[in-house]
Amino acid sequence: MKLDDIKALRTSDGESILLLVLDGLGGLPGEPGGPTELEAAGTPNLDALAATGDLGLHLPVGQGITPGSGPGHLALFGYDPLEYRIGRGALEALGVEFDLQPGDVAIRANLCTVDERGRVVDRRAGRIPTEEAIPVCEALDRIEVPGARVFVQSVKEHRALIVVRSEEASGARIGDTDPGREGVEPLPVVAADGESEPAARVMRAWLNGVGDAVGDRTKANMVLLRGFSQLPAWPRFPDVFGLESLAIAAYPMYRGVARLVGMDATAVPEGPEHLVGALEQHGAGRDFVFLHVKATDKAGEDGDFDAKVAAIEAADAVIPDLRAAFPGVFLVTGDHSTPAIMRSHSWHPVPFLLAGGPGRGGSSAHGGFGERACRQGSLGLIRGCELMPLAMARAGRLSKFGA
């Protein structure tokens, strides 16, 4: 369904909607025939909701497609990621409230470690603490490039934001330099078209200055570039869905994707326990609140099955308080799957739970909230961008289509 169609059907009242995203929620069995991380976790509160709510699986983009975090979240907000495309750089810029201007090229950067031959030995510089990353980013911010200003700002741990503001107009169709693995050199900066060549040229010159800027550092001594992008002009979430909306997240990128579509956003410390107080403080008067938990994805990317189980259990523990603070329709899911055995995002469908409002309910033979139960759930397998219309319907916020 197109956003214009949803806008035409929306009503002015109904229940509120709470979206809890456990980043990278979907998983795989740690051993053949065993449970996934979600199935292994003790989740009495989610299981209780599953018994009366409706379950299903969603594809953030499409069959066989591994989504990034940006497309995954856009889908959850009702935006078809195949139609609404943006690189991660602009999302990072919005997340840290950088004054991104039309024509700027924003880039998501990873501080990384390279050896004496320039080969990547750690794509995340050992997940360098933010307080250690800040002086590195400050040094990188001082690199001068003729005809341009290259801003560098620390985001969190190894993550940084780079923004190119050039005297020469430029596009942002530029390939990532992150090779996606260790033991090889970073990829070259290559523009996909002539319009994007000016920004690519600036970044080649800037990268040439990184070695002198970082000096004799042996850990965070190079930068990998990802998600070159610029500000798009998209329909705004509050205008499309008619919802006073708020995002609550610890990581800037997720506040960024929310701001990109017109939501307000507030920062909290990392950990699901901090979401409750923030929801109680800022949720009043809102029709829609998006909550984000990062630890599930982080554990999956680290290949730590047990840590991902623990992160899911920590989120489950706060479910009653979240429901008490913000009653109404409750949607729990992930933006993609991050199986610990793969140590990365994957193409596997993501489990979801929809509670509140009129629904058929009833758990499957597998019981509880997990991949097997969701596979047999009443809502089946759908695209991620169909979840918001479902939640809107459960909340009584969509009118009849046609006569």
pLDDT of the chain, 403 residues: tens digit per residue? 899 999 999 998 999 999 999 999 999 999 999 999 999 999 999 999 999 999 999 999 999 999 999 899 999 999 999 999 887 888 889 888 898 988 999 999 999 999 999 999 999 999 999 999 999 999 999 999 999 999 999 998 999 999 999 999 899 999 999 999 999 999 999 999 999 999 999 999 999 999 999 999 889 999 999 999 998 889 999 999 999 999 999 998 899 889 989 999 999 999 999 999 999 999 999 999 999 999 999 999 999 999 999 999 999 999 999 999 999 999 999 999 999 999 999 999 999 999 999 988 765 556 799 999 999 999 999 999 999 999 999 999 999 999 7
**Domain shared by 126 and 43, yes or no:** no
Q: Are 8 and 1 in contact (CB under 8 A)?
A: no
**Domain shared by 140 and 184, yes or no:** yes
Q: How far apart are CA 9 and CA 7, in angstroms?
A: 5
Q: How far apart are CA 162 and CA 180, in angstroms?
A: 19
Instruction: Look at residue 400 and tell me if it is in a domain.
Output: no
Instruction: Look at residue 173 and tell me if it is in a domain.
Output: yes
Q: How far apart are CA 345 and CA 298, in angstroms?
A: 10
**Domain shared by 249 and 180, yes or no:** no
Instruction: Look at residue 293 and tell me if it is in a domain.
Output: yes
pTM above 0.85, yes or no: no
Please count the structural domains in the chain.
Answer: 2
Q: What is the phi/psi pair of residue 174, to 5°?
A: -130, 135
Q: Say whether 204 sits in a helix, a strand or coil.
A: helix
**Domain shared by 221 and 158, yes or no:** yes
Q: Are 157 and 133 in contact (CB under 8 A)?
A: yes
Instruction: Look at residue 193 and tell me if it is in a domain.
Output: yes
**Domain shared by 276 and 388, yes or no:** yes
Q: Are 174 and 192 in contact (CB under 8 A)?
A: yes
> Which structure tokens are listed for 132?
């250690």
DSSP symbol at 348: S
**Domain shared by 313 and 372, yes or no:** yes
**Domain shared by 286 and 218, yes or no:** no
Q: Among 170, 203, 229, give the residue marking a domain's end.
A: 229
Q: Among 229, 246, 276, give the residue marking a domain's end.
A: 229
Instruction: Look at residue 306 and tell me if it is in a domain.
Output: yes
**Domain shared by 253 and 298, yes or no:** yes
* CATH code where residue 279 lies: 3.40.720.10
Instruction: Look at residue 401 and tell me if it is in a domain.
Output: no
**Domain shared by 211 and 284, yes or no:** no
Its domain, for residue 353, covers 3-85+234-394
Exposed e or buried b per residue across 203-216, where buried means at least 16 C-beta atoms within 10 angstroms of its C-beta: bebbbeebeebbee
Q: How far apart are CA 284 and CA 44, in angstroms?
A: 27
Name the residue with tokens 């209780």: 48
Q: Among 206, 229, 252, give the residue marking a domain's end.
A: 229
pLDDT at 365: 56
Q: How far apart are CA 403 and CA 400, in angstroms?
A: 8
Q: Say whether 21 sits in a helix, a strand or coil.
A: strand
Instruction: Look at residue 399 and tell me if it is in a domain.
Output: no
**Domain shared by 36 and 176, yes or no:** no
**Domain shared by 220 and 128, yes or no:** yes
**Domain shared by 46 and 129, yes or no:** no
Q: How far apart are CA 72 and CA 207, in angstroms?
A: 30
Instruction: Look at residue 403 and tell me if it is in a domain.
Output: no
Please report, in angstroms and rounded to a whole number, the separation of the first and last CA atoms in the chain. Answer: 18
Q: How far apart are CA 3 and CA 7, in angstroms?
A: 6
Q: Are 42 and 35 in contact (CB under 8 A)?
A: no
Residue 154: other Cβ atoms inside 10 A: 24
pLDDT at 364: 55
> Which structure tokens are listed for 58?
């969603």
Name the residue with tokens 């009702």: 78
